[in-house]
Structure 1
Amino acid sequence: MAQRGGMVRGGTRRRRHWLAGCLAGLLLVAGCASAPPPPSAESLGALSPWRARMAQAALAEWRAWGQITLEGWPETLPREPDPRLFDRIIAYWAAVPGEGEPVIRRHTQTHAALMAGLADSTLPGEPPPGLPSISLWAWPAWSAAFISYVMGQAGVPSYVFPPSASHAFYIDALLWQAQGDPARAAFLPRDPAEYAPRPGDLICADRANLPMLHWQERLSESGQFRPMHCDIVVAGGGGLVQAIGGNVRDAAVLRRFPADAQGRALPPPPDKPPFVLILENRMDLAVGS
């Protein structure tokens, strides 16, 4: 019986988002040629201090990764990221104490063994071997560690945003804060269908096989793992929401999602994880500048 209910629920979601998802794809293709550029220093200067700090920290990582920009949800990257960015992935894991240590240890040992093997197989006079592909370090997924790192670089206190290797768990903490004191919460949950994200907000998708229909469903399962993904919004306008996230096709990238006339992100195509939550940044109110 539960399976039948899940099938009905999934079918309802597919019917609800099919037309919007198809429209999103069409708008994305149509808007590629006229897409606005990533935000400039001048545009960030017009933001409130905490919004600007978070957007600037995310943009700094994007630049470090070669400014890879994707339109929506492509299956491949336009180019292979620099393998030397391995050190940056290690830094992301270092931002999640406890969870990151075993990953760092395993990655560094594997990297050292690979480099030693490549060196041993290189004959005298041959050019040095290439570095291992960055894709080798895509698991465990480091997207939540990336967000935790960016938050730390922006100066967000850990009591406001507790670093985590799981998006769902830091979301739980932010939802708990918002439920306990909505007037002073640093981040407020918003429905993506009703709220237009702004720079410094987080836009989150549910990657589970049976996605939530609304973020409030998370309240009843708090503390349980759920595969999710969040990006940091860095710009809006021009029919797009521009956001930066980590471990997207094994890289840190800027993605451009189609938006409606009010700036709200349109639902992704039916075969992509749906947006279920936007976390409105109210750090300036909660923490001060």
Structure 2
Amino acid sequence: MQAAKPTRSVLLAAAVAFCALLAGCASSPMPSWKEPADAAYAPVRPAPVEPTVSAVPAVAISTAPPTRAALVAAARAEWDFFGNQQIDMRHDPFSAPRLGLLEDEGEAVQRVGEYWHAVGKNLTGADCQQAWSAAFISWLMVSSNVPPQDFAPNETHFNYLSFLKEREARPSPQFVLRPAASEPIAPGDLICAPRGNNNATTLDEIRPGLAGHCDMVVEVHADQGWAGAIGGNVFNSVSESLIPVDEQGRAQPISQRPWLVVVKNLLP
């Protein structure tokens, strides 16, 4: 039986040990709260709703040609919708400079449902046990008009990574896989890591069905040693993770994010 949803007061309590980053909403602990610089900030708390979905609707797709900038803008817009939650991964344990709207709160319930629609699933944010991070990335691609021959939407990150690896052998790939250890990241790229029992350490080991997580890079500050990447189902929300990078802009592996691959975005 699913445990009770933690209250906001609990989420703002003292530091809680980091464990299941991508687990369902009721079981995933939040990092410790840090008072934001902007004292006027307050987490978004719309009235709860109980939407029902009887069929999987079509995802709204842009009519403009897909671009790197459009993908970044789409990720930022979703982050804004969820209240700009940030997870600072530059130290251990992680902390949350800002908290936002959770997947099973208010308008977020159906918003997560939109992400699931991109992979043909009739689920919502109320289905807390279902990890939706790959559905979120797929939604970004579908809604930004990236054609399926260039990115195959999927509810599992390593499934679409496997597609992209095979797609590289055909003409004009729009996304190419590069080792995270040597490839600098840029806004619009995906940065991906194995998780769980996935022990892949090379691109050759990428195959369908492996567990993992990917975020979309939205800002890189190599001179300051950090980058921001937006992902879904990160502490039960759409969050910007602040990750360490070296002076060349290469993502540095950390315990919960042993970065394996950078998906380089070749869109204009």
Alignment partner, residue 254 of structure 1 = 240
Residue 199 (structure 1) aligned to one of 164, 171, 187: 187
Residue 96 (structure 1) aligned to one of 88, 113, 119: 119
The alignment's TM-score, normalised by the length of structure 2, stands at 0.68
Runs of 4+ more than 6 Å apart: none
Residue 157 (structure 2) aligned to one of 162, 167, 171: 167
Residue 251 (structure 2) aligned to one of 265, 278, 284: 265
SS of 2:260's partner is: strand
Q: Hey, what's the Cα distance between the residues in 2 that align with 1:77 and 1:240?
A: 15
SS of 2:251's partner is: coil
Residue 79 (structure 1) aligned to one of 91, 99, 115: 99
Q: 1:80 to 1:241 in 2, by over 3 A?
A: closer
TM-superposed deviation, 1:76: 6.5
Alignment partner, residue 26 of structure 2 = none
Q: Hey, what's the Cα distance between the residues in 1 that align with 2:196 and 2:204?
A: 16
Q: Hey, what's the Cα distance between the residues in 2 that align with 1:86 and 1:256?
A: 25
Spell out, residue by residue over 1:174-215, the C-alpha distance to the aligned partner (whole angstroms, 9 max, x if none): 11011x13x621111111111111011000010032521112
Which has the larger share of helix?
1
Alignment partner, residue 72 of structure 2 = 55
Spell out, residue by residue over 1:92-141, the C-alpha distance to the aligned partner (whole angstroms, 9 max, x if none): 111112xx13xx2xx5xxxxxxxxxxxxxxxxxxxxxxxxxx6x533210
Alignment partner, residue 127 of structure 2 = 137
CA RMSD after TM alignment? 2.2
Residue 149 (structure 1) aligned to one of 139, 144, 154: 139
TM-superposed deviation, 1:71: 0.8
Gaps of 5+ in 1: 1-32, 34-48, 108-133, 285-289
Q: Hey, what's the Cα distance between the residues in 2 that align with 1:148 and 1:195?
A: 23
Written as runs of structure 1 = structure 2, the 5 A alignment for 1:1-289 is 50-72=67-89, 74=94, 78-79=98-99, 81=101, 83-84=105-106, 85-97=108-120, 100-101=121-122, 104=123, 107=124, 136-178=126-168, 180-181=169-170, 184-218=172-206, 222-223=207-208, 225-237=209-221, 238-269=224-255, 272-284=256-268
Confirm or deny: 8 A CA contact 2:88 2:95 kept in the other structure: no
The alignment's TM-score, normalised by the length of structure 1, stands at 0.63
Q: Hey, what's the Cα distance between the residues in 2 that align with 1:88 and 1:176?
A: 31
Confirm or deny: 8 A CA contact 2:119 2:155 kept in the other structure: yes
TM-superposed deviation, 1:74: 2.5
Confirm or deny: 8 A CA contact 1:200 1:234 kept in the other structure: yes
Q: How many residue pairs align between the two structures?
A: 197
Larger radius of gyration: 1
Confirm or deny: 8 A CA contact 1:211 1:274 kept in the other structure: no
SS of 2:233's partner is: strand
